Amino acid sequence: MQNILTDKLEIEKLLEETKDYDEKFLNKLRYLLIYSGLPPSSTKAYQTLRSNVWIFLNQTPMDGATNDYSSLLKHCPPSESIFEHVASTITKTFNNTRLPKRVSENSIARIICCYIIEMEEEKKTDCVDYNREPRFETEQFTSNMLLITVPLLATFFAEPMAFRMFSVLCHSTMPCYFQKNSPGVRNGTQLLKICLHSIDPQYAEYFQNSPYPLECYTSLCITTFCSCLNPKYEVCILWDFMFAFGFHLNILFVVTLLIQLKDDIIHNKIPPHFISEINNFSAVNLFRSSSRYIAYLPEGVYELLVRHLREPIIF
């Protein structure tokens, strides 16, 4: 407990001492995340700490977040047909799913509806920028957005802040995952195959001859940046690493999950899609294993991993 408290105080001190995205400070924060980690968001203080770290790492300003969100809520819901589509998709997605205590289907619906309205307003006025450039045009609503809201709502104490971060992630951090035809998902899947073949060629060949293509096992983890996994507090830790080092690491996380489940998959002990229903994994172990696999990648592949979040054409 003393170590957790000491690390919490050290991270808070770092956040207070700098407001700039300084590389030296960033490396120190990354070091603390790797070797100490953030404490569980079990109290308001710890929850605030994680949200502040995410805000800094993603350089997402929160000025005016509450007023902006309140203004969007006044225009909710969007058109009846869109709202019905969102509501039915939420029901299907979270059917029999136990959401974290601070997350509800209603809060998810509010964020998605506000995002749709924001998109409509931005097309009319081109005035929403949140001091983050560039903002890429994205689809109004894709089903993977639903699960991505969960770690944000579980982490941010204020719903307007969760919405602001969600909007910036969709528009600026990994926009290719939310654009028409999902070029980020397509390129991410291709990169996953390249990475797996570089790390374990025989295993990669197994999927080429399997009745179930690789996508059957990995699609949901790729499209939701592993937010489909459980427990959700481990997902938040995984997101600590992605905020710190880049969301492109998600592809390597999914590769690592595949390798960890290799025997079960090859011997048909788990069906397709099961990987997205994992209820017990260690984010720290996943990160450390994934980091070791980087050395196996061919020259230029890691750069493609980074680029595929924001560039629709990389091959």
- Distance from C-alpha of 135 to C-alpha of 132, rounded to nearest angstrom: 7
Nearest Cα neighbor of 131 from 184, 178, 174, 167 is 167
- So what's the pLDDT on residue 24? 82
Beta carbons of 296 and 199 less than 8 angstroms apart: yes
Beta carbons of 183 and 313 less than 8 angstroms apart: yes
- Distance from C-alpha of 285 to C-alpha of 257, rounded to nearest angstrom: 10
Buried b (16+ CB within 10 A) or exposed e, 243-252: bbbbbbbbbb
- So what's the pLDDT on residue 2? 40
Beta carbons of 314 and 187 less than 8 angstroms apart: yes
Beta carbons of 222 and 279 less than 8 angstroms apart: no
Beta carbons of 300 and 314 less than 8 angstroms apart: no
- Distance from C-alpha of 205 to C-alpha of 75, rounded to nearest angstrom: 51
Nearest Cα neighbor of 166 from 91, 84, 83, 224 is 224
Beta carbons of 279 and 230 less than 8 angstroms apart: yes
Beta carbons of 114 and 86 less than 8 angstroms apart: no
Tokens of residue 271, six digits: 């069906």
| Residue 91 CB neighbour total at 10 angstroms | 11
Yes or no: domain 183-307 corresponds to CATH 1.10.472.80:
yes
- Distance from C-alpha of 153 to C-alpha of 110, rounded to nearest angstrom: 11
- Distance from C-alpha of 171 to C-alpha of 58, rounded to nearest angstrom: 13
Tokens of residue 63, six digits: 């000025």
- Distance from C-alpha of 52 to C-alpha of 103, rounded to nearest angstrom: 19
DSSP state at residue 210: S
Instruction: Provide the residue-wise pLDDT of the chain in tens; the chain has 315 residues.
Output: 345 555 677 888 878 876 667 788 888 888 888 888 887 766 777 888 999 999 999 999 999 999 999 999 998 877 878 888 888 999 888 887 778 888 999 999 999 999 999 988 877 765 555 554 556 666 668 888 999 999 999 999 999 999 999 999 999 999 999 988 899 999 999 999 999 999 999 999 999 988 888 999 999 999 999 999 999 999 999 999 999 999 999 999 999 999 999 998 988 777 777 777 788 899 999 999 999 999 999 999 999 999 999 999 887
Domain ranges of the chain: 2-57, 65-173, 183-307
Cα 190 from chain centroid? Answer: 19
- So what's the pLDDT on residue 16? 80
